[in-house]
Amino acid sequence: MMVTSLLCLRLTSETVGNGTNTPANDRWILSLAFKFQGNLSETIRHVTFLANGSIDTTNTSSLVVQEITSLIEPSLSAIRAILGESFDFWRIINLFVVAYYWILLADLGQISPTTYPPVNQYLRLVDFSGPQYHSSVNNLFRNATFTYYTSYLNDLLNKTIGSHYLLPDFIPLDNENLLNATETTLCSLHVHLRTTTDKASH
């Protein structure tokens, strides 16, 4: 069957262990959704990643990994023709999701998230009375996985746009050289659109 829409990536609202799903956990779940031609409903597969960037093979079926890989094989072949056989789809997907997650938190001045458990698995509602405060131990800007991600990104940059555009050499992260929480000001803009009724009342 032909795939018409592939790989809508999202973090699920499922619980992982005793907490909500977040890359701040020691393991977290990524959902991959796709549709086959002629089908209205999505097919969803779940892949669990560990904090070190690898797939959690204990909680992820090898059949799921094989299924997703086979569906995108034409695209992977084209990419490998440029980047070489060492291109790792799962590693790059993990890199983009994890880096985006922690960069977004950093933009808000945070180094660890606060999450709230879902009310149930069907409604997109959370229980604000039960905040879950996560550690920053798995923040890639505060541990050794920073080198794991930046070295692979540099390898991809070198193969695509050349050595002149590589990331700079970073001083190894330690207790002094790491991302810290900062006080951040958030600005909000409220726009009031006046209606015909509003104008008549003034």
Write out pLDDT tens, residues 96-143. 899 999 999 999 999 999 988 877 766 667 888 989 999 999 999 999
| Residue 65 CA, distance from chain mean position | 17
- Residue 139: exposure state from Cβ atoms within 10 A (0-12, 13-18, ≥19): buried
User: Is residue 108 within 8 Å of residue 114, measured between CB atoms?
Assistant: no
Nearest to 27 by CA among 7, 46, 62, 53: 53
**Using the 8-state DSSP alphabet, how is residue 169 labeled?**
P
Q: Which residues contact 111 (CB under 8 A, 6 or more apart)?
A: 105, 136, 139, 141, 142, 179, 180, 181
Mean pLDDT within 175-200: 74
Highest mean pLDDT among 62-66, 164-168, 194-198: 62-66
Read off the tokens for 157.
């940059």
